[in-house]
Amino acid sequence: MDSWGIAAMSHYVSPKSGSIKSPTNVFLVGPMGAGKTSVGRQLAKFLGKRFIDSDREIEAHAGAAISLLFEMESESGFRRRERQMIDRLTRKKGIVLATGGGAVLSKENRTHLVQRGFVVYLHASVTKLMQRTAGDKNRPLLQTSDPQGRLEEIVNQREPLYRQVANVVVNTDGGSPRYLASRVVKYFENMLDKTIPQ
């Protein structure tokens, strides 16, 4: 069964205070399993931008998998690396960036995301998130005896922060990555129409 379903919902959120006047970047935030990578790749193709996954960049720079970094350096050590990477990547131009699920925990990261691009919160229900992450050993925070309970706890903690930085919220419980990306394109183009002097 296709875990992406057949429908999608989204809504627009007013631009954040301090947002750059004409964003050239799109930043995707949301919990693990929300579809940031799959939607992000499609979005980059539609917009003619480069797709970057911050977690993959961290792994490439460290020469180790995220799960190993958590094991060796603890979550705090990983978050330190993540802050440095988010700062570096958000300074680039013309990119679609998929951030790690916990990137919004850092005030510094939230500031960079809001000030340097158009932020899209990809939202999904815990049920869908569990379906998409089940059995994935590269999700260190879910390696517990009660992964669903842990996931619910994580989502509840981060939900206000995702909404705090978002220009638009897109529900990914249904709809293919291609369809969801097309919805984001419309919101992004609408934002450009409002920010670029005519």
Provide the residue-wise pLDDT of the chain in tens; the chain has 198 residues. 333 333 344 444 444 544 444 568 999 999 988 999 999 999 999 999 999 999 999 999 999 988 888 888 888 899 999 999 999 999 999 999 999 999 999 999 999 999 999 999 999 988 888 887 666 555 555 555 566 788 788 888 999 999 999 999 999 988 899 999 999 999 998 887 776 554
Q: How far is the first Cα of the chain from the last one, in angstroms, to the nearest whole number?
A: 47
Domains located in the chain, CATH noted: 9-195 (3.40.50.300)
Give the global pTM.
Answer: 0.83
pLDDT of residue 2: 36
